[in-house]
Structure 1
Amino acid sequence: MNIQFDQVTTIFLAVALLVIGSFLVKKVGVFQRFCLPAPVVGGLLFALIATILKATGIVELTLDTSLQSLFMLAFFTTVGLGASFQLVKLGGKLLVIYWLACGFLALMQNVIGISVASLLNIDPLLGIMSGAVSMEGGHGSATAFGTTLEEMGVDSALTIGLAAATLGLVAGGLIGGPTVKYLISKYNLTPAEQEVAAAVELEDKEKAAIHSDTFIMQVLLITFCMALGTYLGEVFSEKTKLVLPSYVGAMFVAVIVRNVLDRVNDRVIDMRSVNLIGDVTLGIFLSMALMSVKLWEVADLALPIFIIVAVQVVFVVIMGVFVLFRLLGKDYDAAVMVGGFTGHGLGATPNAMANMSAITQKFGPSQKAYLIVPIVGAFLIDVFAVPIILTSINLFQ
């Protein structure tokens, strides 16, 4: 027996699973501890139920996820609109060091993924899906690039990417705190007293309610960037014969639009509205992607993916403790940033913020870490990661 869900019903299920996931994250302690995203919890729950129903021969569920790419495109466009170069200037030398370190990590994660995959006799493209795509990129990037690779004929790319991203997310939450605690104890570190320029809430200065006119203006900007970015991406792919997903073009167009508008009139973009749209589209996009994961397709590759992720975890810890900590000055702020590096190096920026929050609540504040890590993790890392990922895919396609 096969039950097919149309577009509207699939979107309803995605939103329902997002709500269910949010409820479970609030109620289940282990989900909170590892900062698992609500759409990951809800979507994987549905995927597990669908797998059991199929395996027992009761029913097979078929979803119409054709609108998934639209939500994905909108989310990455909001990321681009958040890329203000004014924030980059406030980070100074430490931001550049941290940024370069994250770029180097993206390169090494792909090298590790491809190398270990080759040793284990699996497709190098699946190794890429277990590299920077799912480690520094997280579930959003894994879904986006996984979809692209499956369209290119790489079976199970999406499922592998999501599995690796989930393992990385859990690992990042597990080892971030202990790693920083080791550094703090070994070097007897304490928070600095000086205040760094308070730019953490630079984009959210006004506390007034969001008005419909302002919201519509943000929708106009987002859809403009989506349309132009998609068109430019298609032209680029046709002219160069290289894979350039539409959301990459939209994101970089949004970066240009953001910084041009900052010079002309910095009040046009309202980041509260943009972030709200980003949160909603990301939640639905991830929920829709995860609920359609075919878990039975990844069973044979479970051990190889686990091995690749384990090697990634070891590398991130070694790089954070023995390289990045020293480059950032071997002080308390450097230790906290290592916690952030561990979080988004293996999972995503929210994981990094969760790690740093747990650390600073216990040992004291770090304004530098809270300024630098979100800026790099939210959008600057894509300047390095996206070209590295695209180059790797085009080399091994």
Structure 2
Amino acid sequence: MISLSPVQSLLACCLVLVVGRVLTTRIGILARYSIPDPIVGGLLFAAIAYLLSAWGGISVSLETSIKPTLLLLFFGCIGLTANLKLLAKGGPWLIAFLLALIPFLILQNAVGLGMAWLLDMHPLMGLLGGTITLVGGHGTGAAYATRFADVNNIQDVMALAMTAATLGLVLGGVVGGPVAEWIMRRHKLAGSLDPAADAGHDAPDLTENAGPPSAGSFIVSLTAAFVCLVVGGYLAALVEDAPVSLPNFLWCLATGVLIRNGGEHLGLKLDDRVTDIIGTIALSLFLGMTMMTLDLSSVARLAGPLALMLAVQTVFCALYAAWVVFRMLKRDYEAAIMSAAFCGFSLGATATAIANMQALTRRHGPAPEAFIVVPVTGAFLVDILNVIVLTSLISLPFVGGM
């Protein structure tokens, strides 16, 4: 076995990100469909690790204990760049996005339950292949898997939940870009980087600080990000026994929002360019490590009916994003970007949704309102709505009572 130290694991992840960037810029189909760099590089690493293990008897072990911190750091930075004035301006977007999301949560679970019935599986497995892991992610999947194993005596449920959540990250990152690119081609939409683009999009002022970012501005933004981690963790611990469990990253994001919008009154002014760089690095490392540690042998062994269920969910999500989400928004460039983000967090996680948007906006131009509405919806509102929907479904006799 090859066991990498924390520093070596970070180095390996950075190399994977570099390889991912090279591949996505030089391979036409990857660039055309805006596949995120961490997804490409991480999957390549996972495939190589699988071949080494299967054919050479060599297993590679990464030290990934930093992953939760990276994710919290990313959401803290999202909060630190969230201008509530822009959020207020994006109010109609937020309402429309929620109106598209609520029926989707119900329909995604209905698809999962229907597939479980067709495949002669326990109905709770349908929910595991629904919003528990696809919208809820690894954390929600682990929580419900523990409950299903203890109360319902479902075997290997934890491994299945983690496999579904991990595959959801991959699928959400793979399908989001192509959906948005198809929408933009079909409706002849373009961002501000295109000469034919509509110049009416108001972008956040990331350049209000004159000159290049300084080392001091990096230290200030990094300090604020770590404050988000500490305060967010403390708040999460205070409410961990509450009737409704909220994800830890929500508190980090909320702390960042308070610092960003309240700090100005105290003379604290952060350079949004720097904070955005820190958050992007944290997100890339998190997604890279997640993809690198994907155990393809376990996926092949456990997938089976679950793979078929996830394939159907992916098709359903792509169709819903293209034909419902986009149409319920303003049918413009920002709506196309939000449709890609919808694929990200409805199959994977909010981090995947942001990665989809970053990949698209890097190629086509900024979508400021999308970067305000999607994080708030994906990191906060969707979790509350998901808990309500799941609690209602599990209480049904033909679902949780079997």
TM-score relative to the length of structure 2: 0.78
Residue 293 (structure 1) aligns with = 294
Cα deviation for residue 85 of structure 1 reads 0.6
Matched, 1:343 2:340: yes
Give the letter aligned to residue 310 of structure 1: V
The aligned length equals 359
Counterpart of 2:159 in 1: which secondary structure?
coil
Cα deviation for residue 242 of structure 1 reads 4.1
User: Are the structure 2 counterparts of residues 147 and 78 from structure 1 closer, same or farther at C-alpha, using a change threshold of 3 Å?
Assistant: farther
The aligned runs of 1:206-245 (5 Å cut-off) are 206-238=209-241, 240=242, 242-245=244-247
- Per-residue deviation, residues 109-143 of structure 1 (Å, max 9, x unmatched): 3323322222222241331156445xxxxxxxx46
User: Are the structure 2 counterparts of residues 51 and 109 from structure 1 closer, same or farther at C-alpha, using a change threshold of 3 Å?
Assistant: farther
Residue 34 (structure 2) aligns with = 35
The aligned runs of 1:193-342 (5 Å cut-off) are 196=200, 199-238=202-241, 240=242, 242-265=244-267, 268-298=269-299, 299-300=303-304, 301-320=306-325, 323-324=327-328, 328=330, 334-342=331-339
Cα deviation for residue 380 of structure 1 reads 5.0
User: Are the structure 2 counterparts of residues 247 and 31 from structure 1 closer, same or farther at C-alpha, using a change threshold of 3 Å?
Assistant: same
* Structure 1 CA distance for aligned equivalents of residues 81 and 57 of structure 2: 46
Report if the CA contact (8 A) 2:318-2:343 is conserved: yes
* Structure 2 CA distance for aligned equivalents of residues 177 and 65 of structure 1: 33
Cα deviation for residue 277 of structure 1 reads 0.8
Give the letter aligned to residue 229 of structure 2: M
The aligned runs of 1:40-119 (5 Å cut-off) are 40-56=39-55, 58-89=57-88, 91=89, 95-119=90-114
Cα deviation for residue 229 of structure 1 reads 0.7
Cα deviation for residue 154 of structure 1 reads 2.8
Counterpart of 1:231 in 2: which secondary structure?
helix
* Structure 2 CA distance for aligned equivalents of residues 344 and 233 of structure 1: 26
User: Are the structure 2 counterparts of residues 268 and 67 from structure 1 closer, same or farther at C-alpha, using a change threshold of 3 Å?
Assistant: same
- Per-residue deviation, residues 207-231 of structure 1 (Å, max 9, x unmatched): 4122222221212211111111111
Report if the CA contact (8 A) 1:105-1:345 is conserved: no
- Per-residue deviation, residues 309-362 of structure 1 (Å, max 9, x unmatched): 1112222222146x415xx4xxxxx333432232222132453466678788xx
User: Are the structure 2 counterparts of residues 25 and 145 from structure 1 closer, same or farther at C-alpha, using a change threshold of 3 Å?
Assistant: farther
Unaligned runs of 5+ in 1: 134-141, 186-190, 329-333, 361-368
Fraction of identical pairs, as percent: 21
Residue 178 (structure 2) aligns with = 174
* Structure 2 CA distance for aligned equivalents of residues 351 and 126 of structure 1: 22
Query: Which residue of 115, 122, 127 maps to 1:120?
Result: 115
User: Are the structure 2 counterparts of residues 375 and 87 from structure 1 closer, same or farther at C-alpha, using a change threshold of 3 Å?
Assistant: same
Give the letter aligned to residue 214 of structure 1: S
Report if the CA contact (8 A) 2:114-2:126 is conserved: no
